[in-house]
Structure 1
Amino acid sequence: MTRTLGMAAVVLTVLAMPATGGAQTAAPAVQAGGGAVSFGADGGEYTSTGIALRGRAEVVQGQNRLRADSINGTIVSGDLTRVEASGNVYFVTPDQTIRGDRAVYTFATDEVVVTGDVILTQGQNVLTGGRLVYNTRTESARMEGGAGSSGGRIRGVFYPERSGN
């Protein structure tokens, strides 16, 4: 099932990160007009090939936030190319929340893939499944079924907007 959602794009680009001890640090975003990216965690590491945030890890750009128990990023030729979040993952925008067990954001494809008991909420609307693929450029989402209580099916409740009332 494909449904276009009004989710604003998020770019989780961090160019350099000193070891953090719970401090929140800002780094410039690569995408023009994307704004600064800030991040925080109970601890972290930076190497030439990646970053690792552990314990209440959070990456924020504008009003969009990715929060998880841990967030790891892959750096290739000085650029952050991929971010992986695991454990109690939440991707939050002003309009909606995506919750799952794991999320992978790949910059080259503009895709965020959230897996593991995924719950997407937008206002009163709720969509659940096992895997959600969201494209930050086109703002389209595709939910797939998965194992669990839903028997591999996606489920949703949508409330139509009423105009003129």
Structure 2
Amino acid sequence: MALLKAAGAGLVLGLLMGAPAFAQISSDGGPIYINSERTESLERERKVLLVGNVDIRQGTARLRADTVTIQFAPQQGETAAQPAQGVAGSFGQVESILAEGNVYYVTPELKAKGDRGNYELATDTIVMTGNVALMRDRDVAEGQRLVMEVTNRRTRLEGGGGRTRMVIDPEGKSQETP
């Protein structure tokens, strides 16, 4: 069983490393290291499921969640009736990454947590929902929905029917309130 898990993890790692480096969890690029309790490859659906204490690292970025689903885009000339064949065919380009349950995304610049996170290559956007917290240095923002436009370096936090909360420390040091 351990050999099967290792082979599955190796398969996913090989697929991600062999894929073009368009969708990544780090702007640094480089190899993607994946660790999970179980790995499932669904070739016909062009998906890889990572289940149980998923930990993905690339460069200086890290993504952790209970489960992660990686969806791959169809390759040129491929049809639903005739998908890529076997491991040698590779899955190709990552289309989206869905992380669910205790989601943490950490880079040197920020830390974000939520119940669910979704990255879409087409818009280069990360959306986190459910009890969201975003931390940059000593600044903290909380809400229900966080939208990060990666290329535009634009972040929007929504209260989801409630309000957003922020604590901003412009001096980088905590001030005592009277």
Give the shorter-chain TM-score range: 0.7 to 0.9
* Alpha-carbon distance in 2 for matches of 1:138, 1:36: 24
Q: Match for residue 56 of structure 1?
A: 53
SS in 2 for 1:20: helix
Sequence identity, in percent?
35
> How much has 1:18 moved relative to structure 2?
5.1
Report which stretch shifted further, 152-161 or 30-39.
30-39
Q: Which residue of the partner structure matches residue 138 of structure 2? A: 124
| Bigger Rg, which one | 2
Structure 1: gaps spanning 5 or more residues: 1-16
- Contact 1:50 1:73 (C-alpha < 8 Å) held by counterparts: yes
Q: What SS does the aligned partner of 1:19 have?
A: helix
Specify the alignment match of 1:161 in structure 2: 171
Unaligned runs of 5+ in 2: 1-5, 75-91, 173-178
Maintained 8 Å contact 1:130/1:146: yes
Which residue in the other structure is 2:9 paired with?
A: 20
TM-score of the aligned structures, taking structure 2 as reference length = 0.72
CA distance in 2, matches of 1:76, 1:124: 38
Q: Does 1:47 align with 2:42?
A: yes
Is 2:156 aligned against 1:142? yes
Structure with bigger strand share is: 1
Q: Residue 73 of structure 1 corresponds to which residue in structure 2?
A: 70
Q: Deviations over 1:90-128 (max 9, x none)?
A: 000112210000000001100000000100011211000
- What is the TM-score when the length of structure 1 is the normalising length? 0.77
Would you say how many aligned residue pairs link Structure 1 and Structure 2?
Answer: 141
The separation in 2 between residues aligned to 1:139 and 1:84, in whole angstroms, is: 21
C-alpha distance in structure 1 between counterparts of 2:28 and 2:105, whole Å? 20
- Counterpart position of 2:107: 93
Counterpart contact for 1:20–1:44, Cα < 8 Å: yes
The residue that corresponds to 1:7 in the other structure is none
Structure with the higher fraction of residues in helix conformation: 2
What is the CA–CA distance in structure 1 between the aligned matches of 2:71 and 2:7, rounded to whole Å? 15
For residues 96 and 142 of structure 2, what CA distance do their matches in structure 1 show? Answer: 25
8 A Cα contact 2:28 2:60, kept in partner: no
Paired residue for 1:38? 33
Larger RCO: 1 or 2 (CA < 8 Å, sep 6+): 1
The one-character-per-residue Cα deviations of 1:131-165 (angstroms, maximum 9, x if unpaired) are 00001112211000025xxxx10010101137xxx
SS at match of 1:95: coil
After superposition, the CA RMSD in angstroms is 2.5
> Cα–Cα, structure 1 residues 66 and 106, in superposed 2: closer, same or farther, change >3 Å?
same
Distance 1:41 1:155 in 2: 34
Distance in 2 separating the partners of 1:76 and 1:123 = 36
